[in-house]
Amino acid sequence: MNRGHASRANLMPGTLGIAAATAFLILFLSVESQAGTAVLLLGGAVFVLGAARFGGIARMRQSFTGNEGAMNLVVVAAALLLTGFFYDDHFTLLLVATVMIYMVAALGLTVQFGYAGVLNFAGAAFFGIGCYTAAVLTRNTALPHVLVLLAGGVMAALIGALLLLPVLRTRGHYSAVVTIAFTLLFKTFLEVNDTLGGPQGLRVDGMNLFGWRFNDNIEIGETLELSFFANYVVGSLILLALAFAFVRRLERSWTGLNMDAVRLDETAAACFGYNISRWKITAFTVGNFLAGLAGAIYAMMLGFIAPTNFTFGDSLILVSIVLLGGIGNPWGIAVATTIVIVLPEKLQIIQEYRFLLYASMVILILLFRPLGLLPRPLRSYVPGWQPK
Amino acid sequence: MNGTAETLLAARGLTKRFGGVVALEDLELEVRRNQVLGLIGPNGSGKTTFFNVVTGIYAADGGEVTFGRDTITNLSAQAVYRAGIARTFQRSRLMLELSIFDNIMVGNHRRLNQGLWFNLARRRAFRREFQDGFEQARELVRVFDPPLADRMFEAVGGFPMIDRRRIEICRALISHPQLLLLDEPSAGMTHEETTQLMDDILEVRSTFEGLTIIIIEHEMGVIERITNRCVVLNFGRKICEGTYQEVAADRLVQEAYLGIE
């Protein structure tokens, strides 16, 4: 009784924080003028710094660790609320869904880079493999779209297997170079390959899950019509929730420990029986699968894909999301993806210079907050568990 | 059978070269079950190289190593660990950003269920294994330092050197190896801390029946106190062997250590 009460009180800071963040995002996404956007940004930054200064962020963190299930629901509810607010706004809903899809891909990168220490600068390429798989399968086969999604992930994982040998044989920065080469090759390959549309790209069918047609607007009664992108928001949210839960479980198991050990000290790990390659392969494959999965839904949402979506620059965006958010912390991914994807869309001044912006953000973070905006907490294997 | 007579680990003619440098030359060495063997010698005499060759970090250039009835020469580090040999490192190689518990569980790798399905899907079974692992790890840490056992989920990086040494030894012991290799456990500690750690090691030995130890150490007090026998290396060769008293009285040893002509 007493304990239940305590944990309910504890929910407040987290819920308030999410409510404030949601309200802020709604404002930020609705404001039209550039000046208004800038003012909001500044205000938001001051608010967050102030909250951090007075221990607000720490208390929010406690809410999340103390009542994980409840807080997860609060976040999902907030996302749905935001979607409801922009129910007929194509552009904003597309943006919201894009953010969620990028989160899935960034979660994949976290497993590779944040846990097992396998640097992957080909995130956009594996995302692209998912996209092209979806394009080819939806246009040329009658495969149910659930399987198309899975196929996107599986293809990315399989093609990633080609890179395994060089990635495993090299260490640290050298394996990063291997993946950079792969991204460049991938884009060139797409541009010269006429069956895959060459530089013009390919059309992709809209998603249809068990008769739920994602590209139809949703009509409720006579007067209310929701943008069809709301379907994709919900679809991506489901995918994101699954990916999030999966990555969480992975971290909270011996598998997560193994990946950490392999990242931190290969020699010590080998002296305790670790098959180093096994855990790197697992992380690399799992990560590419998530990126490919994200790519498949992204392609079906956009309806059209071209090689220019999958450049080295896009891979860098994924890496900067992971660095910015807090390496290995899924909640950090959520915050960082929102910042990195939404900011340039709203602040047009930045658009042209966005790579400059990402680069400077990453440098600042590495200099002043090397563990990221939301540093990863120590592993707790069973949430809420206390030693007796 | 007389337990003390049985050889657990033996090196025969073990040789390791790095380019022109001979780190181990034709080394003959034996440790019997349930004993503590001290490995001493000046810096660069091949002590740590011996550990690295035994544990599969370096490949030997000649000779063989047997463990119990098996030949383990040039097995991989992983296979040596699975055979029942665990070690600590001269420069403590803990994973500083992980918790004490995480670090100790790294040492328990061979006894934990590493299946992906088990880890991701069978959470109830995982929870039981986690609970068991936690109890064992905490028991073990308690032998060393009871207050430390209440801080199992704090990052290792926040603890002083003596605690890190303790944790490292716990990591090596958690999987119940037959042979423990301690590489200079007193490095970086004060005299008092060293004495304390040796008390701990002696106590652990009484809890782990049949544990055999090879210890590399520069502190002669430690060697005198905890070893049954000593082997002295110089330039990769064994120059003397016997009890601490015998070894300390040996003229060659005095020359190697003190430069007496």
Q: Does residue B185 sit in the same domain as residue B217?
A: yes
- The minimal CB distance from B78 to the residues A260, A261, A274 is found for A274
Domain end point (choices B122, B137, B170): B170
B184 within some domain:
yes
Q: For chain A, what is the mean pLDDT?
A: 86
Domain end point (choices A85, A117, A147): A85
List of chain A residues whose C-beta atoms are within 8 Å of the C-beta of residue B127: 381-382
Q: Does residue A58 sit in the same domain as residue A104?
A: no
**Are A63 and A71 a contacting pair, CB within 8 Å?**
yes
A375 within some domain:
no
Q: Dihedrals φ, ψ of A307, to 5°?
A: -55, -30
Long-range contacts of B252-256 (CB under 8 A, 24+ apart): B256/B41, B256/B42, B256/B45, B256/B232
Interface contact B102-A380, CB threshold 8 A:
no
Interface contact A270-B57, CB threshold 8 A:
yes
> Given this model, what pLDDT does residue B3 score?
46
Confidence at A5, pLDDT banded by 50, 70, 90: very low
What is d(CA A366, CA A287) in angstroms, rounded to the nearest whole number?
23
pLDDT digits (tens, 9 = 90+) for A80-96: 888 888 887 888 889 99
Q: Does residue A46 sit in the same domain as residue A166?
A: no
Domain end point (choices B170, B200, B224): B170
Q: Does residue B80 sit in the same domain as residue B181?
A: yes
Q: Does residue A43 sit in the same domain as residue A97?
A: no
> Given this model, what pLDDT does residue B5 score?
60
Q: Does residue B106 sit in the same domain as residue B70?
A: no
A122: its two tokens = 């080909």
Interface contact A253-B119, CB threshold 8 A:
yes
Confidence at A59, pLDDT banded by 50, 70, 90: confident
Beta strands in chain A (DSSP E): 202-203, 208-209, 212-213, 218-220, 224-226, 304-305
Interface contact B77-A271, CB threshold 8 A:
yes
Q: Does residue B11 sit in the same domain as residue B135?
A: no
Domain end point (choices B170, B194, B216): B170
Query: Which of B12, B68, B82, B106 lies closest to B212 in space, CA to CA?
Result: B68
pLDDT higher than 60, residue A147: yes
Torsion sign, CA atoms B247, B252, B258, B260: positive
Amino acid sitting at position B178: Q
pLDDT higher than 90, residue B218: no
Q: Does residue A59 sit in the same domain as residue A104?
A: no
Dihedral Cα A19, A23, A28, A31, nearest 10 deg: 180
Q: Does residue B221 sit in the same domain as residue B243?
A: yes
Q: Does residue B73 sit in the same domain as residue B113?
A: no
**What distances in angstroms separate CA B25 from CA A321, B12, B39, B66, B168, one per listed residue?**
53, 10, 15, 17, 30
pLDDT higher than 70, residue A7: no
Confidence at B84, pLDDT banded by 50, 70, 90: very high
Confidence at B2, pLDDT banded by 50, 70, 90: very low
pLDDT (average), residues A86-115: 91
pLDDT digits (tens, 9 = 90+) for B144-194: 889 999 999 999 999 998 899 999 999 999 999 999 999 988 888 888 888
CATH number at residue A159: 1.10.3470
Q: Residue A114, Cβ neighbours under 10 Å: how many?
A: 30
Count of structural domains within chain A: 2
pLDDT higher than 60, residue A3: no
Q: Residue B69, Cβ neighbours under 10 Å: how many?
A: 5
What is d(CA B199, CA B109) in angstroms, rounded to the nearest whole number?
27
A385 within some domain:
no
Q: Does residue B115 sit in the same domain as residue B240?
A: no
Query: Which of A218, A250, A259, A222 lies closest to A235 in space, CA to CA?
Result: A218
Is the pLDDT higher at A388 or at A1?
Answer: A388
Count of structural domains within chain B: 2
pLDDT higher than 60, residue A2: no
Amino acid sitting at position A237: L
Dihedral Cα A38, A43, A46, A50, nearest 10 deg: -160
Q: Does residue B153 sit in the same domain as residue B192?
A: no
pLDDT higher than 70, residue A218: yes
- Percent residues over pLDDT 70 in chain B: 97
What is d(CA A21, CA A123) in angstroms, rounded to the nearest whole number?
28
Q: Dihedrals φ, ψ of B238, to 5°?
A: -80, 125
Q: Does residue A81 sit in the same domain as residue A93?
A: no
pLDDT higher than 60, residue A61: yes
Would you list which residues of chain A are within 8 Å, Cβ to Cβ, of chain B? 246, 249-250, 253-255, 257-258, 260-261, 264-265, 267-275, 282, 378-382, 387
pLDDT higher than 50, residue B259: yes
Domain range spanning residue A218? Answer: 89-368
Domain end point (choices A59, A85, A111): A85
pLDDT digits (tens, 9 = 90+) for A268-311: 999 999 999 999 999 999 999 999 999 999 999 988 898 888 88
Residue of A65, A263, A264, A271 for testing the chain B interface, max B β-carbons within 10 Å: A271
A381 within some domain:
no
Q: Does residue B188 sit in the same domain as residue B238?
A: yes
Q: Does residue B80 sit in the same domain as residue B191?
A: yes
> Given this model, what pLDDT does residue B1 score?
41
What is the distance in angstroms between the Cα of B261 and the nearest Cα belonging to chain A? Answer: 41
- DSSP reduced 3-state for A205: coil
Query: Which of A135, A104, A102, A145 lies closest to A286 in space, CA to CA?
Result: A104
Cβ-based burial of A157 (10 A; exposed 0-12, middle 13-18, buried ≥19): buried
**ipTM score for this prediction:** 0.89
Q: Does residue A155 sit in the same domain as residue A43?
A: no
A99-103, A116-120, A351-355, B73-77: least confident range: A351-355
- CA of residue B214 relative to chain centroid, distance: 6
B94 within some domain:
no
What is the distance in angstroms between the Cα of A271 and the nearest Cα belonging to chain B? Answer: 5
Q: Does residue B47 sit in the same domain as residue B65?
A: yes
Confidence at A108, pLDDT banded by 50, 70, 90: very high
**Region of residue A210 (phi > 0: left; psi between -120 and 50: alpha; otherwise: beta):** left
**What distances in angstroms separate CA A245 from CA A83, A117, A254, B187, one per listed residue?**
22, 21, 16, 44
> Given this model, what pLDDT does residue A1 score?
36
pLDDT digits (tens, 9 = 90+) for B113-127: 998 899 998 989 999
pLDDT higher than 90, residue A200: no
Angle between helices A123-140 and A90-109 (to 10 degrees): 120
Q: Does residue A46 sit in the same domain as residue A165?
A: no
Domain end point (choices A85, A109, A136): A85
> Given this model, what pLDDT does residue A249 score?
93
A387 within some domain:
no
List of chain B residues whose C-beta atoms are within 8 Å of the C-beta of residue A253: 119-120, 126
Q: For chain B, what is the mean pLDDT?
A: 88
A377 within some domain:
no
Interface contact A282-B130, CB threshold 8 A:
no
Q: Please spell the DSSP secondary structure of chain B, one letter per residue.
A: --GGGSEEEEEEEEEEEETTEEEEEEEEEEEETT-EEEEE-STTSSHHHHHHHHTTSS--SEEEEEETTEE-TT--HHHHHHHTEEE--SS----TTSBHHHHHHHHTGGGS---HHHHHT-HHHHHHHHHHHHHHHHHHHHHH-GGGGG-TTSBGGGS-HHHHHHHHHHHHHTT--SEEEEE-TTTT--HHHHHHHHHHHHHHHHHSTT-EEEEE-S-HHHHHHH-SEEEEEETTEEEEEE-HHHHHH-HHHHHHHH---
Domain range spanning residue B144? Answer: 100-170
Torsion sign, CA atoms A168, A171, A174, A179: positive
- DSSP reduced 3-state for A111: helix
Interface contact B114-A270, CB threshold 8 A:
no
Q: Does residue A32 sit in the same domain as residue A174?
A: no
Interface contact A246-B120, CB threshold 8 A:
yes
B220 within some domain:
yes
If you average pLDDT over each of A19-28, A39-48, B165-174, which comes out highest?
B165-174
Q: Does residue A263 sit in the same domain as residue A128?
A: yes
Taking CA atoms, what residue in B is nearest to A258? Answer: B106
pLDDT (average), residues A331-352: 84
A16-20, B50-54, B72-76: least confident range: A16-20
**What distances in angstroms separate CA B217 from CA B8, B24, B37, B50, B202, one per listed residue?**
21, 18, 11, 14, 15
Residue of B80, B88, B109, B117 for testing the chain A interface, max A β-carbons within 10 Å: B109
A376 within some domain:
no
Q: Does residue A278 sit in the same domain as residue A255?
A: yes
List of chain A residues whose C-beta atoms are within 8 Å of the C-beta of residue B142: none
* Cross-sheet strand order for the sheet of B85-87: B85-87, B179-183, B212-216, B36-40, B229-234, B237-242
> Given this model, what pLDDT does residue A219 score?
72
For chain B, report the end-to-end CA distance as a whole number of angstroms: 45
Q: Does residue A107 sit in the same domain as residue A79?
A: no
pLDDT digits (tens, 9 = 90+) for A159-173: 999 888 888 887 767
Q: Does residue A166 sit in the same domain as residue A268?
A: yes
- Cβ neighbors of A3 (< 8 A, separation 6 or more) are none
List of chain A residues whose C-beta atoms are within 8 Å of the C-beta of residue B175: 272
List of chain A residues whose C-beta atoms are within 8 Å of the C-beta of residue B134: 387
CATH number at residue B41: 3.40.50.300
pLDDT (average), residues B225-246: 88
What is the distance in angstroms between the Cα of B91 and the nearest Cα belonging to chain A? Answer: 11
Q: Does residue B159 sit in the same domain as residue B200?
A: no
Cβ-based burial of B146 (10 A; exposed 0-12, middle 13-18, buried ≥19): exposed
> Given this model, what pLDDT does residue A6 score?
46
> Given this model, what pLDDT does residue A70 score?
83
B90 within some domain:
no
pLDDT higher than 80, residue A99: yes
List of chain B residues whose C-beta atoms are within 8 Å of the C-beta of residue A382: 127, 130
